[in-house]
């Protein structure tokens, strides 16, 4: 059920709510109505207490009683999708005829890609996401995964287990080439860190001209030239969102084009990599290794061959779940609301194309 007109999220457990530092007046001089699709117990929702006074929260929940909540009055929707199913979002959205702006607290859009949402977006619904909130942590993971293989961390762990103090040569990242598949916010954040290590940075993006003057990039390729790009890479980082055109964008042919000494790192979406082809490439030595935070099926099935491969680093889709990650996503929404009240939908940042997926 929903939480109409109720307290927003659990009671704060630390300091009392800080006073508002600014008074924002809507252009129309009237209140705006917000509906929050979320599990009611999400602690990050406490930050909604900092919304401007003009915002009236109609309810918080994953299902709503239309006798208690005026669904037609909802102008804005905040989606906190942690623990919420796609069909629950779809069911609520069907009953929201007048929404003008929807904000998702995630960066990926696959959970809201359903027919009613696509139609609404085509009819003028503005959709924004929390792009940027997770970029730094995912970039750090990508560099960690690269260094994991440069240092031959599996061997280090084995020697410690066996109490063996045997020196062996290790690699460094400086002067190596990192290729980034999808040079959006996460991809660029990864490039910035890799550049600090002294790496050469190449990338693919749909429109290479957009990165023509980017000081981080040494070379930018069109998406269709992915195989040509990976030929020169020591590390390939997949950070592209999942769209129909990016499903299995890293397939057997791309893996075959990679150096035998190269490492694949996926911080984007699992289905962007053909996992069966990846397993074969890892088993045959076609590539050196893989650092994976995302998978085609999650949780990763216990019978997946990936678990047993020594040359695979596995993390359970947690690379972005750093301290405060969800708090930051809701604070971003509160900031966005200020822009919306001042300038309307035209003032919003992080506007995305639901159909494209980014």
User: What residues act catalytically?
Assistant: 269, 298, 317
Q: What is the dihedral of CA 350, 351, 353, 358, to 10 degrees?
A: 0
Torsion of CA 324, 325, 327, 330, to 10 degrees: 170
Report the candidate in 337, 293, 338 with the shortest Cα–Cα distance to residue 312: 293
Kindly give, in sequence order, each residue whose CB lies less than 8 Å from that of residue 331, ignoring residues fewer than 6 positions away.
47, 50
Q: Shortest CA distance to 201 belongs to which of 243, 158, 254, 146?
A: 146
Q: How far, rounded to the nearest angstrom, does the alpha carbon of residue 111 sit from its chain's CA centroid?
A: 12
Spatial contact of 230 and 258, defined as CB atoms under 8 Å apart: yes
**How many Cα atoms sit within 13 Å of 320 on the Cβ side?**
26
167: left (phi over 0), alpha (psi -120 to 50) or beta: beta
Residue 21: CB partners within 8 Å, gap ≥ 6? Answer: none
From 240, 248, 258, select the one nearest 357 (Cα to Cα).
240
């Amino acid at each position: 059920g929903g939480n109409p007109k109720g307290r927003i999220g659990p009671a704060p457990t630390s300091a009392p709510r800080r006073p508002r530092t600014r008074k924002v007046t809507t252009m129309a001089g009237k209140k705006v109505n917000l509906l929050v699709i979320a599990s009611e117990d999400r602690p990050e929702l406490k930050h909604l207490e900092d919304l401007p006074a003009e915002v009236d929260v109609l309810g918080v929940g994953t299902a709503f009683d239309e006798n208690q909540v005026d669904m037609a009055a909802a102008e804005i929707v905040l989606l906190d999708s942690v623990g919420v199913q796609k069909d629950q979002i779809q069911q609520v959205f069907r009953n929201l005829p007048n929404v003008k702006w929807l904000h998702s607290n995630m960066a990926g859009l696959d959970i809201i890609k359903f027919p009613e949402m696509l139609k609404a977006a085509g009819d003028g619904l503005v959709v924004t996401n929390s792009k940027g909130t997770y970029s730094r942590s995912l970039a750090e993971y990508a560099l960690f995964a690269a260094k994991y293989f440069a240092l031959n961390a599996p061997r280090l762990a084995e020697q410690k287990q066996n109490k063996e103090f045997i020196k062996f040569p290790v690699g460094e990242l400086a002067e190596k080439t990192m290729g980034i598949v999808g040079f959006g916010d996460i991809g660029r954040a990864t490039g910035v860190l890799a550049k600090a290590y002294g790496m050469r940075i190449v990338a693919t993006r749909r429109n290479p001209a957009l990165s023509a003057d980017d000081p981080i990039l040494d070379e930018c390729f069109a998406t269709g030239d992915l195989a040509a790009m990976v030929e020169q890479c020591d590390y390939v980082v997949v950070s592209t969102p999942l769209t129909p055109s990016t499903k299995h964008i890293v397939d057997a042919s791309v893996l075959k084009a990679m150096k035998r000494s190269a490492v694949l790192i996926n911080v984007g979406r699992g289905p962007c990599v053909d996992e069966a082809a990846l397993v074969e490439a890892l088993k045959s030595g076609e590539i050196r290794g893989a650092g994976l935070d995302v998978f085609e099926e999650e949780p990763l099935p216990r019978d997946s061959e990936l678990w047993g491969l020594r040359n695979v680093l596995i993390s359970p889709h947690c690379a972005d779940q750093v301290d405060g990650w969800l708090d930051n996503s809701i604070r971003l929404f509160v900031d966005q609301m200020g822009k919306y009240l001042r300038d309307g939908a035209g003032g919003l940042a992080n506007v995305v194309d639901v159909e494209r997926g980014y």
